């Protein structure tokens, strides 16, 4: 089976992880700090805080901003559920903004229209979570301008997008977001097995992110209530979590980070092959905007005939091609339906879902395997 995505693990990666196993630290050691510093330097951010998953990083981002009961978070319905769940973990309400059908990302037009209506009704969001779907940045300049006008914080869920760029700068530099989140799950651009990271240029937010990732505990006397009792002393000053990344994960991430640009370039080449080879089929190919350079975590085709999606999907799987669907709209999940969401609430997201199939794109995808994907699609659709 050709998977839709897969990690590449090299001898250098194995050596990096093995070295940790014979070192003095398995958790909370120098490699975590080195990985944080390396990612921050790579994308141009001031601060980076590693976590054990991007879900955890989204949660502490909401905590650091101060999201809580009675507050409101908006995100895209086309994303993994974590982009919305992070608000629910904090007791906040969640709502969604429909997508731009060209990019699959949150529509800036729809966001502005919803903000105008929300201001009139007296309930604006405290946090908006735009999602860089498939590795392509949202229109972050416009979202930042709306944030400045309407007073919300921006947590950019760039779980798909490390190595991608917007307006000539790496995603994660923080020009437009208060906090940016990366994922290092095995099918992402680079991996730490599981893992995530929150990046920010705000020193106060960085301090709070670091606090919440490790139980709400500090050894910094400047943050303590009262004086330290000695070099052993620590205080819990907030209710945090144990979301720390291990040294093993960080060592793997450091090794993989050296190949980030090469990995993204390979994915872009594969995307270009698909764009040329599938252009005449009854489907819509993904779009990379004029200011964006996608990291191509996913390559999503949308069939012209929604009714054909299931049979096409099943035929591809039967032919040994491990296609998938990203994503079922979050508002249609039973948990969110129980909160009052219904089919028809976000029609562009629902139309996208009815037609979408993710086809294989990853570093280990050979030219022969990609040709097999192309030829199978052509056979099925012509």
Residues 167 and 284 in one domain: no
Strands (E), 102-201: 127-129, 153-157, 165-166, 169-170, 179-183, 196-200
Number of domain units in the chain: 2
225 and 76 housed in the same domain: yes
Does 211 share its domain with 278? no
Residues 225 and 323 occupy one common structural domain:
no
Domain match, 208 and 73 both: yes
Domain containing residue 200: 2-257
Read off φ and ψ for residue 76, nearest 5 degrees.
Answer: -85, 145
Q: Could you list the active site residues? A: 188
162 lies in the same domain as 290: no
Domain-terminating residue out of 237, 257, 277: 257
Q: Which two tokens stand for residue 310?
A: 């299931």
CATH number at residue 109: 3.40.640.10
Query: Do residues 229 and 241 both lie within one domain?
Result: yes
| Residues 251 and 266 placed together within one structural domain of the fold | no
Residues 35 and 156 in one domain: yes
Phi-psi region of 261 (alpha: psi -120 to 50; beta: other; left: phi over 0): alpha
246 and 338 in a common domain:
no
One domain for residues 127 and 238: yes
- Residue 171 to residue 50: CA distance in whole angstroms: 17
Q: pLDDT, tens digit, for every residue of 123-137?
A: 999 999 999 999 999
Q: What distances in angstroms separate CA 269 from CA 161, 263, 302, 371, one per listed residue?
A: 16, 10, 20, 13
Closest C-alpha to 245, from 209, 194, 206: 194
List per-residue pLDDT tens for the chain, 382 residues long.
Answer: 999 999 999 999 999 999 999 999 999 899 999 999 999 999 999 999 999 999 999 999 999 999 999 999 999 999 999 999 999 999 999 999 999 999 999 999 999 999 999 999 999 999 999 999 999 999 999 999 999 999 999 999 999 999 999 999 999 999 999 999 999 999 999 999 999 999 999 999 999 999 999 999 999 999 999 999 999 999 999 999 999 999 999 999 999 999 999 999 999 999 999 999 999 999 999 988 889 999 999 999 999 999 999 999 999 999 999 999 999 999 999 999 999 999 999 999 999 999 999 999 999 999 999 999 999 999 999 9
Model confidence pLDDT, tens digit, residues 35-77 = 999 999 999 999 999 999 999 999 999 999 999 999 999 999 9
Same domain, 308 and 166: no
Q: What is the CATH number of the domain that holds 374?
A: 3.90.1150.10
């Amino acid at each position: 089976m050709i998977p839709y995505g897969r990690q590449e693990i090299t001898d250098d990666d194995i050596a990096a992880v093995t070295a940790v196993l014979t070192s003095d630290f398995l958790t909370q050691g120098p490699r975590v700090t080195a990985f944080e510093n390396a990612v921050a330097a790579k994308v141009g951010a001031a601060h980076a805080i590693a976590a054990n998953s991007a879900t955890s990083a989204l949660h502490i981002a909401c905590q650091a901003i101060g999201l809580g009961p009675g507050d409101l978070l908006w995100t895209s319905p086309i994303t993994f559920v974590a982009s919305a769940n992070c608000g629910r973990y904090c007791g906040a309400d969640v709502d969604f903004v429909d997508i731009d059908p060209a990019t699959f990302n949150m529509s800036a037009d729809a966001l502005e229209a919803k903000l105008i209506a929300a201001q009139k009704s007296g309930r604006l969001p405290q946090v908006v979570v735009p999602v860089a779907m498939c590795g392509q940045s949202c229109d972050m300049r416009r979202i930042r301008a709306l944030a400045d006008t309407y007073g919300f914080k921006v947590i950019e869920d760039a779980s798909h997008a490390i190595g991608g760029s917007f307006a000539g700068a790496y995603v994660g530099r923080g020009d437009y977001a208060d906090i940016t989140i990366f994922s290092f799950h095995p099918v992402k651009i680079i991996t730490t097995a599981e893992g995530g990271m929150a990046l920010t240029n705000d020193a106060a937010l960085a301090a709070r992110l670091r606090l919440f990732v490790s139980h709400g505990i500090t050894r910094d006397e400047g943050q303590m209530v009262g004086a330290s009792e000695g070099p052993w002393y620590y205080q819990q000053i907030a209710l945090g979590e144990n979301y720390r990344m291990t040294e093993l994960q960080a060592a793997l991430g450091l090794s993989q980070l050296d190949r980030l640009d090469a990995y993204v370039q390979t994915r872009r080449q594969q995307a270009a092959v698909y764009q040329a080879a599938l252009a005449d089929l009854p489907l819509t190919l993904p779009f990379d905007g004029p200011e964006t350079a996608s990291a191509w975590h996913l390559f999503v085709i949308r069939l012209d005939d929604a009714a054909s999606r299931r049979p096409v999907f099943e035929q591809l799987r039967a032919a040994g091609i491990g296609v998938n669907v990203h994503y079922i709209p979050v508002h249609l999940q039973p948990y969110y339906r129980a909160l009052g969401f219904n089919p028809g609430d976000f029609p562009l997201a629902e139309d996208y879902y009815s037609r979408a199939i993710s086809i294989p794109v990853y570093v280990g995808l050979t030219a022969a395997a990609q040709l097999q994907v192309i030829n199978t699609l052509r056979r099925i659709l012509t």
